[in-house]
Structure 1
Amino acid sequence: MSATTLVHERNPAPAGGGTLIADGLAMTGRHLHKLRAAPGVLILTQTMPITMLLFFGYVFGSALAVPGEEYRAFLVPGLLAATAANGLMTGMFQAAQDCHRGVMDRFRTLPMSRAAVPLGATAAEVLTTAVGLVPLMLVGYAAGWRIEDGAAGALGAFGLLLLFRFATSWVGYWLGLLIRDEEAAGQLGSATFVLPLLSSAYIPTGGMPGWVRTVAEWNPISALAAATRELFGNAAPAADAAWPSAHPVAGTLAWAAVLLTVFVPLTVRRYARDGRG
């Protein structure tokens, strides 16, 4: 636990009196230390996309056709998008685990800003994701994927991926505060695996049945996957898709803005309300 938190514990004061940035940094440090001490969830979430790349790319790749491009070049940006969306699962599990073990109640006795705890957790998610995307990109490069549109586009894609991870982590953290049970959060988190399947992360939406295609194209993960492909120079967005998928960069920014606008205040309010019993 960080020095800032230790000082708070030794000098208790009414909750809510801390500074958001300082307290948020302390909580970020706490979550990073927690991951280093118990890296199981981190290892699982970071190695799963690589496993899926090898499995989909080499086992199913020969059976899947993407018009005008090689399947592994199509798949890697989709897996990057699915990894960014995984903040929903990890944020939910982290919040539920801390609630279940009584850590949240301890935090509420400290003189911290109410937003610092979820902010620190979601910021830690962004930092770990920034590091974790690199091995996936390296394996993708070895599998034949390339950045085709220069450094500026690649940096833009990387920024969108981290922004989306930040937004979905807030959604997950709110769900974890609602669930408050570590085992239940783990079971529900595994169900989020279906969300990338109902998107363009792994296959194009053009061949899907009508209503499935509509759901997939309005899935935020589809917008992010299409934006990532566009910015990396791997594929142009489908002109006949739904608006978020046809204008994927703008669509991803819009989805991220909506998620943050809705779930940041909901999460902070839920955290504070639980503290009042």
Structure 2
Amino acid sequence: MTTLDWPVRPATDDIDKPRGGAVVALVRHAAALMRRSLIKTARTPEALMDVTLQPVIFLLLFTYLFGGAISGGDRAGYLQFLLPGMLAQSLAMGGIALGQNLNADIEKGVFDRFRSLPVARSAPLVGAVAADVIRYLTVCLVMLGFGMIIGFRVETGLVPAIAAVGLSIGFGLCFCWISVWVGMLVRTPGAVQGLMFLLVFPLSFGSNVFVPTDTLPGWLQWFVHVNPITPLVSTIRGLLVGGPVAGHLLVTLAWMAGLLVVFVPLALRAYNRRA
């Protein structure tokens, strides 16, 4: 029998099947692809500028350029109000790069290689999202660390501050699925950035990030109240500088669940069509 006569082993043989069940296999494959994303980030540290330098610039800009006018000269008090909101805004903006990177990988044919491997179909997306934990943790550390340098103080204690960081990262991981979905739909990374900025900027500025809600026009207050950024900001403020938390936290958790329920299936469906 010649080499060509040997039967071709189908890809569905047990040796090619993920061991330990579908869920365990997905976790294992996603972890491997998460490691790939982290290595890529480590080799291109300039890709972290949007979660390191950009939050610092925004914080300085609004504290010292606009803070005096907004707060009537009390920049220190305004910084206590502003930083929790800026943290939420930076997390929402930090997820834009994920959709851009996934879109670029598809255009370069990286996902064609993933499709040829015996890995769970959704593993590339789940792994990329999981790797974004590092980006969101970086945002939190940079924002809080630099904020303390210029005068911000946590007034509630260590445990509430850790809870604020954990909630912020969790919301970022839920919100970034919008960016993943957009990255699967549009043709270029630049288009992902443009569309996501059109979404994130109204959500950020049409919220309680920069000014109290009751100072806004009535029609805008309605939008602020239904904005998912608003309860997140209120919860982080309560955890960092004091104030009501429970009610805002429940609304934030509901928004997080809703984002996952809606945009994870949409992103996976768009990925199956595109990649």
Tell whether the structures are fold-level matches, with TM greater than 0.5. yes
CA contact (8 A) 2:177 2:263 kept: yes
Q: Give yes or no for contact 1:90–1:169 (8 Å, CA) kept in 2.
A: no
Cα drift, residue 208 of structure 1: 0.9
Measure how far apart 1:264 and its partner are.
Answer: 1.7
Q: Which residue of 2 aligns with 1:5?
A: none
Q: What pairs up with 1:56-135 in 2 under 5 angstroms?
A: 56-65=62-71, 70-135=77-142
Whole-Å separation in 2 of the counterparts to 1:270 and 1:111: 20
2:239 maps to amino acid: L
2:39 corresponds in structure 1 to: 33
1:212 match: 220
Q: Which residue of 2 aligns with 1:44?
A: 50
Pairing partner for 2:148 from 141, 147, 153? 141
Task: Encode CA deviations 1:158-211: one digit per residue, 9 max, x unaligned.
Answer: 111011110011121111011131221233334333421111112211111112
Contact preservation (8 Å) 1:88, 1:168: yes
Match of 1:52, as an amino acid?
F
Provide the aligned length of Structure 1 versus Structure 2.
254
Query: Who is 1:178 aligned against?
Result: 185
Distance 2:211 2:163 in 1: 23
Pairing 1:265–2:270 present: no
Letter in 2 for 1:176: G
Q: How large is the Cα RMSD of the aligned pairs? A: 2.3
Question: Cα deviations across residues 94-114 of structure 1 (Å, max 9, x unaligned)?
Answer: 221112222222221211112
| Residue ranges of structure 1 left out of the alignment (5+ in a row) | 1-11, 238-245
Contact map agreement 2:181 2:263 (CA 8 A) in 1: yes
Residue 235 of structure 1, CA deviation: 4.2
Aligned partners of 1:116, 1:270: CA distance in 2, in Å?
14
State the alpha-carbon separation in 2 of the partners of residues 235 and 70 from structure 1.
15
Cα distance in 2 between the residues matched to 1:45 and 1:138: 13
Q: Which residue does the alignment assign to 1:22?
A: 28
2:211 to 203, 217, 240: 203
C-alpha distance in 2 between matches for 1:124 and 1:13: 29
Specify the code of the residue in structure 1 equivalent to 2:148: Y
Query: Identity percentage over the alignment?
Result: 35
Alpha-carbon distance in 1 for matches of 2:103, 2:35: 19
The residue type equivalent to 2:128 in the other structure is: A
Larger Rg: 2
**Range moving further from structure 2, 106-115 or 252-261:** 106-115
Q: Which residue of 1 aligns with 2:173?
A: 166
**CA separation in 2, counterparts of 1:204 and 1:17?**
55
Q: How many angstroms apart in 1 are the aligned matches of 2:79 and 2:221?
A: 22
User: Residue 164 of structure 2: which of 127, 148, 157 is its match?
Assistant: 157
Equivalent in 235, 243, 250 of residue 227 of structure 1: 235
Q: Aligned residue for 1:8?
A: none
Question: In 2, Cα distance between the equivalents of 1:149 and 1:45?
Answer: 25
Between the aligned partners of 1:28 and 1:201, the Cα distance in structure 2 is 31
Partner amino acid, structure 2, of 1:63: A
TM-score (norm 1): 0.84
For residues 13 and 35 of structure 1, the distance between their equivalents in structure 2, rounded to whole angstroms, comes to 33
Give TM-score, length-normalised by structure 2. Answer: 0.85
| Aligned-pair CA distance for 1:87 | 4.3
Quick one: which amino acid aligns to residue 162 of structure 1?
A: I
> After superposition, what is the alpha-carbon deviation per residue over 1:224-271, rounded to whole angstroms, capped at 9, x for unaligned?
11100011134447xxxxxxxx92111111100100111222222222
Report the secondary structure of 1:56's partner residue.
helix
Structure 2 residues without counterparts, runs of 5 or longer: 1-9, 19-24
